[in-house]
Structure 1
Amino acid sequence: MDATGRPARLAVGIISAGRVGSVLGAALARTGHVVVGASAVSSHSLRRAEELLPGVPILDPPGVAAIADLVLLAVPDDELAGLVRGLVATNSLRAGQIIVHTSGAQGVGVLAPAAELGALTLALHPVMTFTGRSEDLLRMTAACVGVTAADGDEAAWSVGEALVVEMDAEPVRVPEPIRPLYHAALAHGANHLITLVRDAVDLLTGAGVADAERLIGPLLSAALDNALRHGDRALTGPVARGDTGTLRKHLDVLAEHEVLPAYKVLARRTADRAEAAGLLKPDTAEDVRTTLED
């Protein structure tokens, strides 16, 4: 850290230059840090590195780590532990380095071999989807980043938060024990939302409705906004109203579609939330559940 409290100018190494790594590398370079190396194997990663990290040498992972002050590990979750062990085994990591990974589901425990060498370890998980293109840099200004450091290591927490602020994002502390639940919640909300939206679009398109995305776009945008603003009070529709007649019609027309099981599970969950919020009386909620089961 310098006298202003920001991380000093760092030599940054990116392993690997995928959608996340290339964008975060560009974000760090934009703040004055210097990306000194990146690993990239696929043609897509090589192209991203060329576009977002121009002039940065392409090296193997040990070569990247050996020359960096800050090593950013932006690899898939299942590869992370093996990568860390490999970098330690090749003497590519050293005391005083900052080792950061971007996995949402894991905290700093997976970086323990690096911490044992005297490295400062962090988990920085941007809560956004990445395209691997320059527009991601703009989108980061509205994003939060889940920050995890070792319990009690306030210096590490401060470094992580400072790096996030430098990248124009908002840091949110996520303690190590809740990291898997934190990531499950994000995946449930974001990934399953996409599945839900595309199922709705497919039903409409299959029924002959033209430009289904344009039809439901405003509805979905308003529903998301209302849910974030008003919580369960934003629940609407036949389940939240206890309209079992309409619910039966839905079940009938969906009987030949593969989305029916998902519809029934979500409808029951909606009934539970509506009852808990006082929108449905207990007997009406039970009527809805019975209709779904029948």
Structure 2
Amino acid sequence: MTSTRFTDDPAPARLAVGVVSAGRVGTAIGAALERVGHVVVGCSAVSEASRHRARTRLPETEILPVEDVAARSELLVLAVPDSELASLIAGLASTCAVASRTIVAHTSGASGIGILDPLTEQGIVPLAIHPAMTFTGHDEDIARLGSACFGVTAADDIGYAIAQSLVLEIGGEPFRVSEEMRPLYHAALAHGSNHLVALVVDAVAALRVGLEGEELLGQELIGDEPNGLAERVLQPLLSAALDNALRRGPAALTGPVARGDSEAVATHLRVLEEVDPQIAAGYRALSLRTAQRAGAKSELLDILKDPR
């Protein structure tokens, strides 16, 4: 095995990879790296769920304490929640568990390489490699990595070359994010992905109420389980709307707010309030932003202002 510790090659052939920890992201990245010939030589896993995930996705990888994973690694992937990353790095630095010239890559979107300073001072190669993808813990996670973009931050051109090589190997598309822009980058992704989920779940909940009791003969009853009739009604509409927004920008706006139909919007607010005041509040806030995007007249903006 070619070792990164004893070569100046920015893209060594194969790496001994350690993963901390065996969560959704870490095991997906570990499995993707193994598919292209790298070897995951150790991973940490504490909970039973993470241990099961490690055994399923990385069946030949030994589950070890964090310090042992670090000691074995030429590439150490830190895939812990954002809130745990700084303390993990501090602990690794205090025990000198990571050898000099080890590549250490964290997967946090919110942080750049500055958070790795305690280890960088000990001679490691710091990388921030964030997959712009949501992870569910299911089989599709690994496949989705192949179509994902990865936000990369590194200390120098050698670091960027290493990160680019790793991302391209697993089929992803790397792009640079400067250290100072990491918080804004992360905010944009969270705004788009997390709030999209909340929006869709609200739309499904409202539609379930509207359809309940109106099922056709032989059609499944409207229930609370996912992937039902309400979801199937919304899926092609939402997919088309997302595709249009990404390809056409603000020109993709349609519907009563974009048309300035104040009466229809007022009716929507009334019926959604009857279903769930929180859904109505979400509709009001998003409609106001839509109206601002569309340059709506004051009459519609007045309807959408918070009544409190």
Is TM > 0.5 for Structure 1 vs Structure 2?
A: yes
User: Which residue matches 1:179?
Assistant: 182
1:38–1:58 contact (8 Å) kept in structure 2: yes
Aligned partner letter, 2:289: R
Whole-angstrom distance in 2 between the partners of 1:41 and 1:146: 28
| CA distance, structure 2, for counterparts of residue 243 and residue 133 of structure 1 | 42
Deviation at 1:134, TM superposition (A): 3.6
Distance 1:41 1:259 in 2: 38
The answer to whether residue 303 in structure 2 is matched with residue 291 in structure 1 is: yes
Is 2:261 aligned against 1:243?
yes
| Mapped partners of 2:234, 2:33: distance in 1 | 38
Of 216, 229, 236, the match for 1:218: 236
Give, in whole Å, the separation in 2 of the partners of 1:24 and 1:292: 44
CA-CA distance at 1:55 after TM superposition: 1.8
Tell me the CA shift for residue 5 of structure 1: 6.1
The Cα offsets for residues 230-276 of structure 1, whole Å up to 9 and x where unpaired, read as: 1000101111001111111112212332211111111110011112x
**2:18–2:72 Cα contact (<8 Å) kept:** yes
- Partner of residue 117, structure 1: 122
Secondary structure at the residue paired with 1:56? Answer: coil
Distance (whole Å) between structure 2 residues aligned to residue 249 and residue 159 of structure 1? 56
Q: Is the 8 A contact 2:256 2:265 kept in 1?
A: yes
In the TM superposition, what whole-angstrom CA distance separates every residue of 1:130-175 from its partner, at most 9, and x where no partner exists? 233443222212111111112xx11111111111011111101111
Measured after TM superposition, the shift of residue 4 of structure 1 is 8.7
Structure-1 separation of matches of 2:303 and 2:57: 54
1:67-82 alignment runs, 5 A limit: 67-82=72-87
SS of the residue 1:259 aligns to: helix
Change (3 A) 1:134 1:208: closer
Does the aligned pair in 1 maintain the 2:145–2:170 contact within 8 Å? Answer: yes
CA change 1:132–1:255 in 2 (3 A) is: closer
1:92 CA drift (Å) = 0.3
- Aligned equivalent of 2:281: 261
Distance 1:250 1:190 in 2: 24
Matches within 5 A, 1:61-210: 61-150=66-155, 153-209=156-212, 210=222
SS of residue matched to 2:41: strand
SS of 1:255's equivalent in the other structure is helix
Structure 2 portions without partners, runs of 5+: 213-221, 223-228
Tell me which residue corresponds to 2:41: 36
Cα 1:200/1:84, change in 2 over 3 Å? same
From 40, 43, 59, the counterpart of 1:54: 59
Q: Partners in 1 of 2:66 and 2:289 — Cα distance? A: 46
Alignment RMSD: 1.6
Could you report, residue by residue, the CA deviation over 1:109-141 in whole angstroms, capped at 9, with x for unpaired residues? 110011111110001111111233443222212
Match of 1:273 among 258, 271, 293: 293
Q: Deviation at 1:94?
A: 2.2
Identity of aligned residues (%): 53
8 Å CA contact 1:19, 1:130 repeated in 2: yes
Once residues 94 and 136 of structure 1 are traced to their aligned partners in structure 2, the CA distance between those partners, rounded to angstroms, is 30
Question: Contact conserved, 2:10 with 2:159, CA < 8 A, in 1?
Answer: no
2:111 counterpart SS class: coil
Give the TM-score, by structure 2 length. 0.88
Question: 2: distance between equivalents of 1:161 and 1:7?
Answer: 12
Superposition TM-score, scaled by structure 1 size: 0.92
